[in-house]
Amino acid sequence: MRSRNGINIILALITVATLLFLFVPIGFVVAHSFTDARAFFVWGGFTTRWYSSMWNNAQLTNSVVVSFKAAAGSTLIAVVLGSFAGIALARRPGKWVAIFMAVVLLILTTPEIVDAIGLQLWFVKLGGPFRTGLLPLWLGQSIFSSAVVTLIVRARMSGLDESLEQAAADLFATPRKAFMQITLPLVAPAILAGGLLAFTFSLDNVIIAQFVSSPGTSTYPVYVFGLARSVVKPEVGAMATVLLGATLVSLILVAVVLRRSGDSASKIAATFTGTN
């Protein structure tokens, strides 16, 4: 009994240390967005003036707008590709599933710098629309997100009873009608969760955005990365805090939607992580 209590205490300490390691830097960013000093890393008293002055920084606000446009486009691509791939993996078993899953896992485990270099070389070779506008960002940032959405949708579909779709076919519903009225509503929470994760992954992407972005399409993470060797103003932290708040609100909304659809807390966590 004593040994078990000792193990529980050790596990609790490890959990607390892990949470502190993950969230203390975030707390630092939020706290220093209220500093009255002109340098982000210096505490000079409490103020909220940076939350108003950040909107006057045209370069900062433009990078945020580009980030949202890039995230929206890449999320749309990821949701479409990932949703159909996840449904096919769950409903069309065969030897191809193992091969396709290996490709998905390869996408998830490949170092992002490798993808970024490969995409840059390929886009330069293709030229044209692949070197201008937001298309390079949409394509580049959707690769990893598509794999994430695929796993989440596949996990959701694997836990659903296929007899409902079979019953629709027995009632002479066309495949399209059965998909729109049965399959899509059932898998919608997973698509919503996958889309949200894809959006957040794209919103804070640095490496791929740094390599494939065309002139005039620098995202907010790339903009912040460019300030790393100079004095970072607290307005950068203020904008980061606003984006963090928007992300948390989105997560809460999706969790509420999943909860109202009848999912338990463990099922909601499984949907977000792509596990059964």
Report the C-alpha gap between 79 and 85 in whole angstroms: 10
**What pLDDT sits at residue 64?**
92
**What pLDDT sits at residue 272?**
58
Report the C-alpha gap between 166 and 4 in whole angstroms: 49
**What pLDDT sits at residue 169?**
67
- Give the right CATH number for 63-273 from 2.40.50.140, 3.40.30.10, 1.10.3720.10, 2.30.110.10: 1.10.3720.10
**What pLDDT sits at residue 2?**
60
**What pLDDT sits at residue 171?**
67
The token duo for 154 is: 């596949």
The domain spans of the chain are 63-273
**What pLDDT sits at residue 76?**
95
Cα 181 to Cα 77, 175, 178, 188, distances in angstroms: 22, 10, 5, 11
**What pLDDT sits at residue 91?**
81
The token duo for 10 is: 């050790």
pTM for the model stands at: 0.83
The label of the residue with tokens 């002109």 reads: 38
Mean pLDDT by 10 residues, the chain (276 residues): 74 91 90 88 88 90 93 94 91 86 90 91 88 91 92 83 69 74 81 87 89 88 83 87 86 73 60 55
